[in-house]
Amino acid sequence: FRYLCAPIIPNQDDDAVFINCRSSSTPPHSYFVVQHILKMFVHILIVAIIHLCSIPSSSAFLPPSLKPPASSKIFSSASEVMPSNVQTLVDQAKSLFDSSFGADVDKNLPNYCVSAPGRVNLIGEHTDYTGGYVLPLAIGFNTVGYGCGSVVKKDSSESIKCRIVSTNNPVAEFHVSPSLEASTGSNKWVNYVQGVVLQYLPDLKEDETFIFDLAIVGDVPLGSGLSSSASLEVATAVFLERILDSHGVAYCSAKDAPLSEKQRKMERAVRCKLAENIFCGVPCGIMDQFVSSAGCEGKLLLLDCRSLDYREVSMGGENASSSDAPVLVITNSNVKHDLGDGEYPVRVRQCKEATDILTKMNPSIQSLRDATMKDVEAAAKSAGLEGVLLQRARHVVSENERTVKTADALEKGDWETVGKLMNASHTSMRDDYEVSCEEIDVLVDLAQTFGDGVYGSRLTGGGFGGCTVTLVKKDSAQQLIEYLKTQYEAKTGTKCVCFETAPASGAKAIDL
């Protein structure tokens, strides 16, 4: 039977069987007649099975009121339905692709579509670049990329180039080369794409390169602290992975054995972080790229930024459906920041200087992740850790402790403890790390003093503007949102934007 089906169901493990059969003495003519008949029977059988498998699911026979939305499309597995906002972004990306590239597109190149979410960090701020703990979640705001591309042989012509366009930016072109230089001025956004492309270039042979056209749209608010840049990087990475997969190209780090899906997500996050560090000049940690790549629907990730081990954390466990179960409300202050040109690099340097002092006192402390509050207090007394450096160390070390405690309390449904830890985190960020601002402090104070229903509130993200995250009882969420909108505008003259969120899934390839 294996021999008869060989052209239909190849099996590399049975090559010896096929070879022996084919090298045996020639069988009689009647044998080939029987063989042909049986092959036809097998073909018919397989076609029938495929046809049966393509019959619509039971949802096709449901009353209209119970059917899934007609616009829903499968992501990359039969169990996941595309959210309506992602479908809208996909349609926008296709439209942008057509209007930007149109007749110039190489019709022979396959099309790909990908998405990657932004993120909110519940707690664990400015700890990732010192190898500490963070507790983020992916959110339902995404960057979507739609385009076509391939791996091609290099040549000396100018025809092999990559073109990208976004909703707010015109078409930019570049040739992929290890000597590619970062863009400046209004075109700096291109660096987040180019930097990722360079991270995937070593996967190709020396005489190969990428060629692609890519349209990018998204609904992650820019400069809000919700990681629009990481979302763009990870979406670009998944797009390149689709191109590599279609050409049978493996990660250069996985030539001996293929990576598991979990390992791929981790590798992707590392590459995107390096792209932002090296090509974009932002000394960020890995949290943003990691949760955008590996986020899990319904779960937060307690991530160890040193080992990249992580634990999925549910909100409440058995208490998730209790009457006082909370939701997360995100409030965008509409005060924007630029981490690359602002205070972020200063904080990174200060943490390094604080670490050097602690290391001299205790060589086992290689980063602030290794220190305890007792170490910080001892260094303040006898090792010259003082002033701003003392403040920075105190925040990072105490924030690591708060993050681990928050994950444990969250799983137990101990909302009061989670709220207190969130409030303490904001105080530390405001006073010791000094990354808050007047508008953010107004929002946090409004939420914390709202009354019954709010457990805790804090700045989320890099700081110097951006968003707050508030843990609030579900029944009180809408009332809180209206209160924040009214009072924030009255106090600052600026409108804020609020929305409820829940943990969403990470980056995906979208089946077209």
Q: Against a cut of 0.85, is the pTM above it? A: no
What does the block give as tokens for 252? 């250069």
Class of residue 183 by CB neighbours under 10 A (exposed 0-12, middle 13-18, buried 19+): middle
DSSP three-state, residue 192: helix
Chain centroid, CA 246 distance in Å: 22
- Residue 396 pLDDT: 98
Nearest-angstrom CA–CA distance, 251 and 384: 46
- Residue 301 pLDDT: 98
What does the block give as tokens for 379? 């260094």
Contact (CB, 8 A) for 76 and 510: yes
Report phi then psi at 243, rounded to 5. Answer: -65, -45
Decide if 309 is catalytic: no
- Catalytic pick from 219, 288, 370, 432? 288
Strands 310-313 and 454-460: unpaired
- Residue 363 pLDDT: 97
User: Hey, which bits of 317-389 come out as E strands?
Assistant: 326-332
Residue labelled with tokens 């960090």: 121
Question: pLDDT digit of tens for each residue in the chain (512 aa)?
Answer: 232 233 333 333 333 322 333 333 344 444 444 444 444 444 444 434 433 333 333 222 222 222 223 322 334 433 455 677 899 999 999 999 999 998 888 888 899 999 999 999 999 999 999 999 999 999 999 999 999 999 999 887 767 899 999 998 999 999 998 989 998 877 889 999 999 999 999 999 999 999 999 999 999 988 778 989 999 999 999 999 999 999 988 877 766 778 888 999 999 999 999 999 999 998 899 999 999 999 999 999 999 999 999 999 998 866 666 666 799 999 999 987 555 457 888 999 999 999 999 999 999 999 999 999 999 999 999 999 999 999 999 999 999 999 999 999 999 999 999 999 999 999 999 999 999 999 999 999 999 999 989 999 999 988 889 999 999 999 999 999 999 999 999 999 999 999 999 999 999 999 98
